[in-house]
Amino acid sequence: MSSEGALLLVLAGMVVVTYGIRLSFLVFGHSITFPRWLERALRYVPASVLTALVVPMAMAPHGAIDLSWQNAYLPGTVAAVAMALWTRQTLAAILCGFAVYGLWRWLVA
């Protein structure tokens, strides 16, 4: 099998697994119940995934750790976290982080 064929096979398998799981909740969603502890634990998944994506980029935007004042990602991330903790609003935190990042880039550049 060629590498393109293997890549397409892997991609098709990922599509089937991903959408198979999602569609199963549409088909069987009314009869599926989860334990309360699992429902509580699943509420933290988006925050932990977002943290795993954002923190490495904020601390090492060019592949190496950069904790200098010239790294505009750091104040943007800190401002977004502070806004999220203060308002509990995701959109406000995102907008605040972008605004601080943009302002920092404009001031430093």
Q: Give the pLDDT confidence score for residue 109 in this predicted structure.
A: 67
The stretch 48-68 carries a mean pLDDT of 88
Total-model pTM: 0.60
In whole angstroms, give the CA distance from residue 24 to residue 47: 24
Host domain of residue 69? 44-108
Query: Which H or E run includes 37?
Result: helix 36-42
The stretch 60-82 carries a mean pLDDT of 91
Q: Which residue has the higher pLDDT, 19 or 79?
A: 79
Residue 31's φ and ψ, nearest 5 degrees, are -105, -5
Q: In sequence order, what are the residues at sequence separation of 6 or more whose Cβ sits closer than 8 angstroms to the Cβ of residue 96?
A: 79, 80, 82, 83
Hey, what are 75's tokens? 């104040």
Q: Give the pLDDT confidence score for residue 27 in this predicted structure.
A: 78
Q: Do 52 and 99 belong to one domain?
A: yes
> By mean pLDDT, which of 5-9, 27-31, 46-50, 68-72 is the weakest?
27-31
Asked, for residue 37, whether it belongs to a domain, the answer is no
Q: How does the average pLDDT of the chain come out, rounded?
A: 88
Q: In sequence order, what are the residues at sequence separation of 6 or more whose Cβ sits closer than 8 angstroms to the Cβ of residue 32?
A: 25
Q: Do 25 and 58 belong to one domain?
A: no
